[in-house]
């Protein structure tokens, strides 16, 4: 990996990924979907290492959506166990490489053991200044926005703020991603071209790169390709190109 990609002009600070295609990858090989999920964790490890080496500031990974509970119970259980095992085995190494772990999504109603694991990983790595690895678990953007709106409504009802105090930046800060920069680049593997309830508010001006590769095939090289595609984009944010302005 080329270290210090951040020094190169136009590199993304925040990369968000929809890690999709585990099941199809396995099915294509005549294997159960669980094999794809297990290989998906390997791809997650490779990608995190690559992002950290490249000097990317934030990597946000969609690991389980609010809607994924509707899958067969056995698959849900397998995914939860994979996540538990990942935290148990990988957090120490991530901590050593200076990675700060953050988890976004709804924690209410989650298994208390899992919640404790999340909290411990976050507390352990809180002071780290390297890559921020944000894991979206039981995450749904509409649910996240709803929670933020409820929190703000509560503050208004308690007289702590007035409705006029609610600005886009106040709303942004009440989301689970409050304090993080918005994603510059969103990558979705697996060929689908949709957001599936991921970071709807945060992606207002994000560049999207859709890749046909299934997630278990993803690696540092593909991440680099997506970043190259991103760097050729002309981000205007509603304005005009810098040279014609």
Burial state string for 4-40 with b = 16 or more CB within 10 A and e = fewer than 16: ebeeeeebbebbbbbbbbbbbbbeeeeeebbbbbbbb
Report the nearest approach of Mg ion to the CB of residue 51 (Å): 22
State how far the Cα of 151 lies from the Cα of 171, in Å rounded to an integer: 10
Residue 79: contacted member of ligand IPE, Mg ion, none (CB under 5 to 8 Å, by partner type): ligand IPE
* Residue 59 to residues 9, 148, 154, 202, Cα–Cα distance (Å): 19, 22, 31, 14
Among 14, 15, 20, 117, binds Mg ion (CB under 5 A): 20
Catalytic residue among 68, 106, 128, 197: 68
Nearest approach in angstroms of CB 74 to ligand IPE is 13
68 binds, among Mg ion, ligand IPE, none (CB under 5 to 8 A by kind): ligand IPE
Contact, 138 vs 106, CB < 8 A? Answer: yes
Token pair, residue 153, equals: 């409504």
* Whether residue 68 lies in the annotated active site: yes
Please state the closest distance from residue 39 (CB atom) to Mg ion, in A.
14
Chain positions contacting ligand IPE, by CB under 6 A: 18-24, 62-65, 68, 79, 190, 192, 194, 196, 215
Q: How far apart are CA 178 and CA 152, in angstroms?
A: 14
Q: What tokens were used for 109?
A: 């109603």
Cα separation, 27 vs 35, in Å, equals 9
What is the full DSSP assignment across 74-96? HHHHHHHHHHHHHHHHHHHHHHH
CB of 171: closest distance to ligand IPE in angstroms? 23
Distances (CA, A) of 23 to 30, 60, 71, 72, 190: 11, 21, 12, 13, 10
Of 14, 16, 24, nearest in space to 215 by CA? 24
Which region among 20-28, 57-65, 119-127, 198-206 touches Mg ion (by CB under 5 A)? 20-28
Nearer to ligand IPE, 57 or 197 (CB): 197
| Residue 64 contact, options ligand IPE, Mg ion, none, Cβ 5-8 Å cut-off depending on partner type | ligand IPE
Residues 143-182 contacting Mg ion, CB under 5 A: none
Choice between 64 and 230, CB closer to ligand IPE: 64
Known catalytic residue: 184?
Answer: no
Q: Which does 105 bind (CB under 5 to 8 A by kind): ligand IPE, Mg ion, none?
A: none
Nearest distance, CB of residue 9 and ligand IPE, angstroms? 31
- Of 7, 9, 20, 138, the catalytic one is 20
- For the annotated catalytic residues, the residue numbers are 20, 68
Which residues are near Mg ion by CB under 5 A?
Answer: 20
């Amino acid at each position: 990996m080329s270290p210090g990609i951040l020094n190169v002009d136009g590199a993304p600070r925040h990369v968000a990924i929809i890690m999709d295609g585990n099941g199809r990858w396995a099915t294509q090989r005549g294997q159960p979907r669980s094999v794809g999920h297990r290989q998906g964790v390997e791809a997650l490890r490779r990608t995190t290492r690559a992002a950290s080496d490249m000097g990317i500031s934030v990597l946000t990974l969609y690991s389980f959506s609010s809607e994924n509970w509707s899958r067969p119970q056995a698959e849900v259980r397998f995914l939860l166990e994979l996540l538990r095992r990942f935290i148990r085995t990988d957090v120490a190494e991530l901590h050593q490489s200076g990675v700060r772990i953050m988890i976004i999504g709804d924690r209410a109603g989650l298994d208390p053991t899992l919640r404790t694991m999340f909290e411990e990983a976050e507390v352990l790595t809180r002071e780290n200044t390297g890559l921020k690895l944000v894991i979206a678990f039981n995450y749904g953007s509409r649910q996240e926005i709803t929670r933020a709106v409820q929190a703000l409504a509560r503050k208004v009802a308690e007289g702590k703020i007035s409705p006029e105090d609610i600005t886009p930046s106040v709303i942004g800060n009440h989301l689970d991603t409050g304090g993080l920069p918005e994603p510059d680049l969103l990558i979705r593997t697996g060929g689908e071209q949709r957001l599936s309830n991921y970071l709807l508010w945060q992606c207002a001006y994000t560049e999207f790169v859709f890749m046909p590769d299934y997630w278990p095939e993803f690696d540092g090289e593909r991440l680099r390709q997506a970043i190259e595609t991103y760097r050729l984009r002309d981000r205007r944010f509603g304005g005009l190109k810098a040279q014609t302005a």
